[in-house]
Structure 1
Amino acid sequence: MTMMELMRVVEQMDVETRYVQNRRLTARQLRARQREERRMELALMETAWSRLC
C-alpha cells in the first residue's frame, strides 16, 4: 500500500467516524426533543384538568 493510499484510507475512516458521531448526537437531540414535547403535553393536560375541576 502506498503512502497516498494509506492517507486516503485514514481520511475515509475519519469521515466515517465523524458521521457516526453526528448521527449519535442527532439521536440524542431527538430523544431530548421528544422528552421536552412530552413535558409540554403533560403540562397542558394538567392545566386543562385544573380548569375543569
Structure 2
Amino acid sequence: MNIFLRISLARSHIEMERSVIEMALKKTKIAKIRIIPSRTLQHFMQKECTKQ
C-alpha cells in the first residue's frame, strides 16, 4: 500500500476517534479530559512496580 494512502487512512481514523470522544464528552458533560502520553504512563508503571 502506498505510504501516502496509509497516512491518509491513519489521519481519518484519528479524526473519527476524536469526534467519537468529543461526542461522549458532550453526553457526559465532562468539560476536560487529560490524555496521558504512553511514555509517561510507562514510566509511572515502572516506578510503581519497582516500589513493591
Number of aligned positions between the proteins: 29
Q: Which has the higher contact order (CA 8 A, sep 6+)?
A: 2
Higher-Rg structure is 1
Identity of aligned residues (%): 14
TM-score, normalization: structure 1? Answer: 0.53
Root-mean-square deviation (Å): 0.4
Structure 1 regions of 5+ residues with no counterpart?
Answer: 30-53
TM-score, normalization: structure 2? Answer: 0.54
Runs of 4+ in 1 over 6 A off after TM superposition: none
Structure 2 regions of 5+ residues with no counterpart?
Answer: 30-52
Higher helix proportion (structure 1 or 2): 1
